[in-house]
Amino acid sequence: MKRLSDVKRIGFGAMRLAGPGIFGPPADPAQAKQVLQRAVELGVDHIDTSDYYGPYVVNDLIREALHPYPPELVLVTKVGARRDDEGAWLPAFEPDEIKEAVHDNLGRLGVERLGGVNLRFMDGWDGDFTKQWTVLADLQSQGLVCDLGLSNCTAEQVKAAQDVAPVSMVQNAYNVAHREDDKLIDSLAEQGIFYVPFFPLGGFSPLAVDAVQEVADKHRATHMQVALAWLLQRSPNILLIPGTSSVEHLEENLRAAKLALDADDLAALDAVG
């Protein structure tokens, strides 16, 4: 099975294939499956997902659209949270819940091994997670998980995890306008750890930055393509998982890999943060 170290730098984040608020089914399940199938047709080999997207909706769509999976496809999920009947995001962080979540993801996706699992911290959580991380390390040693990562974490949490088992990836919020993780990205690059920004295009508050649009106009590109291209040139350890429920936007996002920003572009965009 391929690992994160083998994938292309632009993958696909499947979160937005669920219904409004990442809850419930999409209005058009057939279209959601078409997006997934088109992504694979275009060479996407890294899909990010989770059982709590929907919940379960997105993993079901992935299996229905793509199983049996092409051998080059790396599926990465997240554990540590759950949804209630109203769609609220709640912790599911006990060691037994972590183990159960990994097995649930394996079963729902229909795989014998996950390409990666991120341990997701709820906002502001700073307690000890040795037991949870050890559970994931044990599942990795059993061959059920390839790579382990942390999501919504701090540099201190990365260090604590590394003392127990290797961290292969970090998934935090980061984009051209929100750069709190600049130092962390550089530190992870030195350690050979991938950084996978969520909300690379602003998330639920889409980017609206004049400098980004000016660079986009110069290259006859979209502001989203520029934001993604900047991330690719920001650091070689960055992997992207932009999400969309539109085939058109999927194809547009993937074309960002061919957009080369010059020194003036980078200077203007670097100044945004």
pLDDT value for 208: 66
237: which DSSP letter? T
Contacts (Cβ under 8 Å, ≥6 apart) of 15: 22, 48, 49, 50, 53, 58, 243
Q: Three-state SS for 204?
A: coil
Question: Both tokens of residue 182?
Answer: 């600049």
C-beta of residue 157 within 8 angstroms of C-beta of residue 202: no
pLDDT value for 248: 97
What is the CATH topology of the domain spanning 4-204+238-243? TIM Barrel (3.20.20)
Strands (E), 92-200: 114-120, 145-151, 169-171, 194-195
**Which helix (H) or strand (E) segment is 137 a member of?**
helix 130-141
Distance CA 115, CA 98 (A): 16
Contacts (Cβ under 8 Å, ≥6 apart) of 178: 199, 273
- Whether 207 has a pLDDT exceeding 80, the answer reads no
- Whether 204 has a pLDDT exceeding 80, the answer reads no
Catalytic residues: 53
Banded model confidence at residue 14, pLDDT cuts 50, 70, 90? very high
User: What is the value of pTM for the model shown?
Assistant: 0.96
